[in-house]
Structure 1
């Protein structure tokens, strides 16, 4: 007698997230937006860009901008270690999608987070801009910051910041 196969090990009311460490804090981004994780290296710096834009990489013939997430959050540049890596994510919506690289200290795991367990972002006291936070999830002994990656890597905002910086240099 044939048995029905379970098509998904993930509960219907949860979503998969990639967790990573940055400046001693744990963050999570939706796994659906993650294209790949690559070793740190091969970044070509571009002059006159904001400090958090480290440069670009050649990813199989495509030019992909690389953002230092720690610098984007207003922290100082951190030392690159053997666990430092670049997460390639797709940001934007509709036809305007853009691949971007995000430098993080280390990647932790892929986890299922029940949606009912994600709390709203704090109104104050966060180490990063509140609009970058989609919510907070309490893991065993720590909070995981669930990021709104489209806001953190907003192509429009980054373009605007770059234009402002280039005008001030000129």
Structure 2
């Protein structure tokens, strides 16, 4: 079918092939998502192992661990800790776990993998790293885990870029 010259033409008969120009994306690919409080964040796609949605009963609660951790899940034979990302970043609103599925973003660095439970996944977007500005309005509890933010011209809201390595290596997990 692709080898057929009519495949590239509009009506197929006696016309020159019409080639479409593909737009090359500008910037770097990021995953946008929301935490329980409604705040929007992004992570670079290169630091994400995968995005999954698990029923809450597939996340096994563990005793005597940080209250930020919801429990563990089995990710293709690997036990992965799952954390409420919003509460980790200082939000007072806990993640609603009384629903059919919880979106989990599995991030990794070297041999360390962590599942970040979020309220909802928004989209994948190409974002220009040259437009990142230093976040000045971020709470102190969130600041060590931010690389910066983009300011939306339409809404005036900030899309904050997280540093998944700083999140993975944080001392907050021990408390």
TM-score (norm 1): 0.77
Which has the larger Rg?
2
Corresponding residue SS for 1:45: coil
Structure showing the higher helix proportion among its residues:
1
Q: 1:56 aligns with which of 59, 72, 95?
A: 72
- Rounded Cα–Cα distance in structure 1 between residues aligned with 2:65 and 2:165: 20
TM-superposed CA distance for 1:65, in Å, is 0.9
Partner of 1:18: 31
* Gap change, CA 1:112 and 1:46, over 3 Å in 2: same
TM-score (norm 2): 0.75
TM-superposed CA distance for 1:82, in Å, is 4.8
Corresponding residue SS for 1:119: coil
Written as runs of structure 1 = structure 2, the 5 A alignment for 1:67-106 is 67-74=83-90, 75-80=92-97, 81-82=99-100, 84-90=102-108, 92=109, 96-106=110-120
- Contact (CA 8 Å) 2:72, 2:80: kept in 1 or not? yes
Q: Return 5+ residue gaps in structure 1 as ranges.
A: 1-5, 166-170
Q: Return 5+ residue gaps in structure 2 as ranges.
A: 1-20
| 1:50-80 Cα shifts (integer Å, max 9, x gaps) | 1011111011111111111022123242323
The CA RMSD over aligned residues, in Å, is 2.6
- Rounded Cα–Cα distance in structure 1 between residues aligned with 2:93 and 2:71: 17
- Rounded Cα–Cα distance in structure 1 between residues aligned with 2:135 and 2:44: 16
- Contact (CA 8 Å) 1:83, 1:106: kept in 2 or not? no
* Gap change, CA 1:45 and 1:31, over 3 Å in 2: same
- Rounded Cα–Cα distance in structure 2 between residues aligned with 1:87 and 1:71: 15
Structure showing the higher strand proportion among its residues:
1
Partner of 1:120: 134
Q: Are 2:54 and 1:40 aligned? A: yes
TM-superposed CA distance for 1:8, in Å, is 8.2
- Rounded Cα–Cα distance in structure 2 between residues aligned with 1:40 and 1:17: 22
Q: Are 2:160 and 1:145 aligned? A: yes
